[in-house]
Amino acid sequence: MIRRLSFATLLLVLPTPLLAQDAHSLGIGFAATAARMDYFGVYWNPACLAIPGSGPSWTVATGGSFFDTSNSGSPILRYNTDNAIQSGIDPVNRYQQYLGTFGTKYTTAAGGVIYDQELNSSSSQGALAFFHDRDNNLIVAGSTYGNLNYLQTTQQIYNVVVSYASQLPIGAIPFFSAGGSLKYHDGVQYQQTSLMGVYQQSSPSSGFTYTKTTSTSGLGLSIDAGFLAKFTDALQVGMMFQNLQSNFNWQAQQQSYTLDGSGKESASGPATNVTVAANFPYATKLGLMGSPPGTNVALEGEVAWTQGLVNWRAGLERLYPESHIVVRLGTFNDRVSNSQLWTIGGGYMVSNFNIDLSFLTRSLPAIQDSITFGMAFDAIVRF
């Protein structure tokens, strides 16, 4: 017998994936819907693939990123359970993501692979205290731990993306394009641990539920659609419908556990086959890029609507053509730490080669003390 579980019932924290697999988008605060993203338009807005370029027809691109954030208020690079407990925040949320991509682009068509590894957790103060005492053998007779609301999910997914864009004649608009992306999701690892209720050392077999859901097989398809309009040399507008249609399921096993007097778990009964519905969240994004005449500056802005929330993002790029260098600055609000974050980056650009590096932080210049940290790189070769 296979039971079907909704992903919404399993995830207490579900931030929109950043998917900053490139340093360009990270450097401008993810305000990339109307920006010139070259190959990376396969994710940010496939309509960007049709923007005329002056370089060769073939492009090979790669990139990677790391992102880590929490609402505990302590430096994320020194995150540990003790700091989370001392924060007094309930619940303590943490989100971590590793991404990597490799792909090619030919004229207005592109395809590639995006590797996505995520950790998503929500821990009550009661659960943090329980795990801390259990790991340090501090559970004694009569100990009671209430409000055990703990949920942690890790997953690894390979996403194969194929995109195409075409320029369309639309009245007096000098340039208008439409594009779409088909994304095939191949899940290779999934694990979710859930602990809820009240644990009493004197009667450890009742008052709580402890389950683990694991899988090595997940499959699904998602569809994106995007549009880009260039009204003047100084103004272009982009619109993106992300995960316009999404269907993704994990075929998993769910096992219940009991806890003994010291808090150690042991399997309780046979594992149950379950289907975890994990469709990717739908998002609508509206982006604007302005470039004042006679300057080498681009200003990007974006508003995104997803999961009932509105997210604002903004970025700035300054090109120094004589030295082939571009510098970037961006900002956005992080939903996990609930703080305004800043991104900085730069790159080296010539006709057939780009390389970029960007960082994300809340604290400048003391990056090591930031409650959120991220970085990304990318490289593009044209021939």
pTM for the whole thing?
0.92
Both tokens of 198, joined, read 């009240």
Whole-number pLDDT of residue 15: 47
pLDDT of residue 271: 95
Q: In this predicted structure, what is the pLDDT of residue 8? A: 41
Q: What pLDDT shows up at residue 237?
A: 97
* Ranges of the chain with pLDDT below 70: 1-18, 53-56, 204-205, 364
CA distances from 101 to 4, 13, 39, 269, 352 (A): 31, 25, 11, 41, 19
DSSP letter for 16, please: P
Sequence-separated (6 or more) residues with CB below 8 Å from residue 215: 187, 189, 190, 191, 250, 251, 252, 253, 276
CA atoms within 13 A on the CB side of 127: 23
- At residue 42, the 3 state secondary structure works out as helix
pLDDT of residue 13: 43
> Can you tell me which residue has the tokens 């540990």?
80
Confidence (pLDDT) at 326: 98
Is residue 42 within 8 Å of 240, Cβ to Cβ? no
CA distance 263 to 10: 23
179, 167 Cβ separation under 8 angstroms: no
91: left (phi over 0), alpha (psi -120 to 50) or beta: beta
pLDDT of amino acid 2: 52
Helix (H, G, I), strand (E, B) or coil at 21: coil
**Residue 77: what pLDDT?**
86
